[in-house]
Structure 1
Amino acid sequence: MARAQFDVGEEGGDREGGSTVLALRGDWSATELGDAPRRLPRRLEGVQVGGLDLTDLGRFDTAGALALIQSGVHLPEDAWSDRPEAGRVYAMVEKLERDQAPPPKRGPWAVRAFGRVGRGVEDVWSEMVLSMAFLGRLLIAMGRAIVAPGKIRWPAWVSQMERAGLDALPIIAVTNFFIGAVIAFLGADLLTQFGAGVFAVQLIGVSVLREFAVVITAVLLAGRSASSFAAEIGSMRMNQEVDAMNVMGVDPFQALVIPRLAALLIMLPLLTFVAVLAGLFGGMLVTWSQLGLGPAFFIQRMYEDGTMFMHLMVGLSKAPVFAIVVAAIGCRQGMAVAGDVESLGRRVTAAVVQAIFAIIFLDAVFALIYLELGV
């Protein structure tokens, strides 16, 4: 292989009809160009090339043609008569460069900023419209399941209940145990300063029964089940399995969405009750070790406080709503996956973020409602 070289005829050099001749030597290929593309424009500055000397030219590919074109060389049609195959490569690259659209001009920063805001608003509106369409199809599928219970896929329900409920039991119990312990530590430390350490029991009971048990459980399921739903259904969308269901006459909502929704609707209240027990147990151990309040005293204080059952009902009343929201968001994002892995990653992330945001928002709404009701 010979490195790409060139030579430009000077006043006493080769001329063809008074035009400067550009002599190409060696291989003008991607591997042998070297620094020729950098030196050639400087050497040809102010020079009009009228012909080519291709006597010592070796291999010639699109990289060599591009180097000549980008150096500003404008060659006549008969310049490649000695090497017509190289002339065809040069003509092809020249046509592609000539037809290539110039890059769009960047507008002012203010215009770009408002453009990003506008696209964000459009995306939010599009998500709202698609979510309402998904909700409509979901309600239709639920109505069909209620009208024709014989068509319900009970094995799919049981399988999803096991995966979304029983498999999540350990992490939910452990997490709420430590949440109850942390609340007990804070309450014992703060209330003891005022000589009211005994009221740490009420603090633990109200916070765990009313808020932390159901919210922490729902958030854990948002990160665990919503992402799983989006990934599973999204993978089926990528593999065109959902399209195959439609072709075979199987309703994807009946086969994929309803079992997952029903599984969370049944299991989240049960998991919330387990979380309540775990949180109270964690708080009881801390009050026993820090304040010397034994389990019998802890249970008695909880039993004697007549509002504890009401707080438990308030917490459990949120569970079905959180379950529907988490399952619907996970399935909705899974159904929106396109045919690429990047779309799958975006939708799984969106499922988790939207589910957690919806849980926090709905919890605040519930707090305002129960506050107005005096519950």
Structure 2
Amino acid sequence: MNKAADIAEETRDGGTVLRLSGSLAIANLHDLPARLDAIEGPVSTIDLSDVDHIDTIGAWVVHRNAKRLNCDISSGSDDAKRLIEAVGALDEPVSIHPDHVPAVSRVVGQIGEAVIAAGSTMLGLLGFFGSTLVASWNVIRHPHRFRLNAVVQRFEVVGVAALGIIGLMSFLIGIVIAQQGSVQLRQFGMEMLTINLVGRLTFRELGVLMTAIMVAGRSGSAFAAQLGTMKLTEEVDAMRTIGVSPMEALVLPRTMAVVIMMPLLSFYACILSVIGGGFLCWIALEIPPITFIQRLREVVPITDLWVGLIKAPVFGLIIAISGCFQGMQVKGNAEEVGLRTTAAVVQAIFLVIVIDAFFAVFFTWIGWN
């Protein structure tokens, strides 16, 4: 059984030495901390030569009093010295209240941190895109590594499973565009131009843009969550260990599926949106469906359809790369999966809108307006 901790004061070479003895474990300290705190006089050394055992609490008591009395610690075992040094290395002041930072400095600092984070994310996204291109080239060189079943399965998840929600959304958007447009155009007696509004806006912009936002919310978030969970469970590391490239097995099938399905989904959304607009024109404006279709063919140039179909695979690539990139960045804990999933959706939608703005300027510049 360990002896209780005790203390004795001795005078050596004209200085006071505190000689500790017994066990400096939490169960045996008793009133030793209080007795040490009561010592005020100058002390030269704390002697641990008679200490049988010491734990973290005992090491903290010795370190704290040695620091308070500004004295040395001697004659302890190597284990005791290492433990006291380790405890002393963690002895740092902790502020209860954060330091006051001027509002201007805080705002500027937050803006700087956001810019740095955005820049590093964009660099990482570009690097991930390069890795995807490398994986694609490797699959082209070695066709037997192409995972057709994985791509087809993603076709179903990304495309077929999304037909219902995308169709309903597009149909309602067509109704909203026609209703709001007709209300404004009725003031000028030009309700017929509602067909122009529905057709051109749907095929050129809203059809592909709303489809991209919906796919980003459905598939982009799913990609990030799936790959993030696989990262946490170390399945991605296991794939690398057995010689399977995660880029080829996980990222490439998802990217190909979204890029191929986006034009089809966008065209499907455009058709449903036009049907919704035509339905409202028939009900509210008494424009027969055959008249609606004839007018639509006259006012909507084929270039509007090409504009939407050209933008669709680019948007799909952005959504897939963003989702997979954020998923592969997950590390640490399950909370990171949620944060990366949110980041994937926000990043994909933001980049889609930015690229759509560039497309609008580009197509106007080449005369497709």
Length-normalised TM-score, structure 2: 0.76
Residues 253-278 of structure 1: CA deviation (Å, up to 9, x unaligned) = 11001100010111111111110111
- Corresponding residue number in structure 1 for 2:294: 300
> In the alignment, which of 199, 210, 214 is matched to residue 220 of structure 1?
214
Opposite residue 260 of structure 1, the aligned amino acid is R
Q: Secondary structure at the match of 1:197?
A: coil
Alignment of structure 1 residues 86-165 onto 2, 5 Å: 91-95=58-62, 99=88, 100-103=91-94, 106=99, 108-109=101-102, 112-165=106-159
Q: Which runs of 5+ in 1 are unaligned?
A: 1-16, 18-59, 78-83
- Corresponding residue number in structure 1 for 2:284: 290
Opposite residue 355 of structure 1, the aligned amino acid is A
Tell me by how many angstroms 1:116 deviates: 3.7
For the residues of structure 1 that align with 2:113 and 2:307, how far apart are their CA atoms? Answer: 40
For the residues of structure 2 that align with 1:204 and 1:259, how far apart are their CA atoms? Answer: 35
Contact 1:62 1:89 (8 Å CA) reproduced: no
1:323 aligns with 2:316: yes
Alignment of structure 1 residues 10-29 onto 2, 5 Å: none
For the residues of structure 2 that align with 1:350 and 1:221, how far apart are their CA atoms? Answer: 15
For the residues of structure 2 that align with 1:107 and 1:335, how far apart are their CA atoms? Answer: 37
- Corresponding residue number in structure 2 for 1:206: 200
Q: Secondary structure at the match of 1:193?
A: helix
Tell me by how many angstroms 1:90 deviates: 6.4
Tell me by how many angstroms 1:74 deviates: 4.8
1:246 aligns with 2:240: yes
For the residues of structure 1 that align with 2:366 and 2:113, how far apart are their CA atoms? Answer: 41
Alignment of structure 1 residues 1-40 onto 2, 5 Å: none
- Large movers: runs of 4+ above 4 Å: 60-69, 71-77, 87-90, 95-98, 110-115
Aligned positions, number: 311
For the residues of structure 2 that align with 1:178 and 1:64, how far apart are their CA atoms? Answer: 76
Contact 1:65 1:89 (8 Å CA) reproduced: no
Tell me by how many angstroms 1:123 deviates: 2.3
1:372 aligns with 2:339: no
Q: Secondary structure at the match of 2:192?
A: helix
Residues 98-135 of structure 1: CA deviation (Å, up to 9, x unaligned) = 63211267364365555444433332332233222212
> In the alignment, which of 347, 354, 361 is matched to residue 361 of structure 1?
354
Alignment of structure 1 residues 251-262 onto 2, 5 Å: 251-262=245-256
Higher mean C-alpha displacement, 312-321 vs 118-127: 118-127
For the residues of structure 1 that align with 2:28 and 2:106, how far apart are their CA atoms? Answer: 37
Opposite residue 270 of structure 2, the aligned amino acid is V
Opposite residue 101 of structure 1, the aligned amino acid is E
- Corresponding residue number in structure 2 for 1:5: none
1:311 aligns with 2:304: yes
Opposite residue 94 of structure 1, the aligned amino acid is V
- Corresponding residue number in structure 1 for 2:160: 166
- Corresponding residue number in structure 2 for 1:29: none
Tell me by how many angstroms 1:89 deviates: 8.5
Q: Which runs of 5+ in 2 are unaligned?
A: 1-8, 10-25, 44-50, 68-87
Tell me by how many angstroms 1:232 deviates: 0.4
Percent identical residues: 38
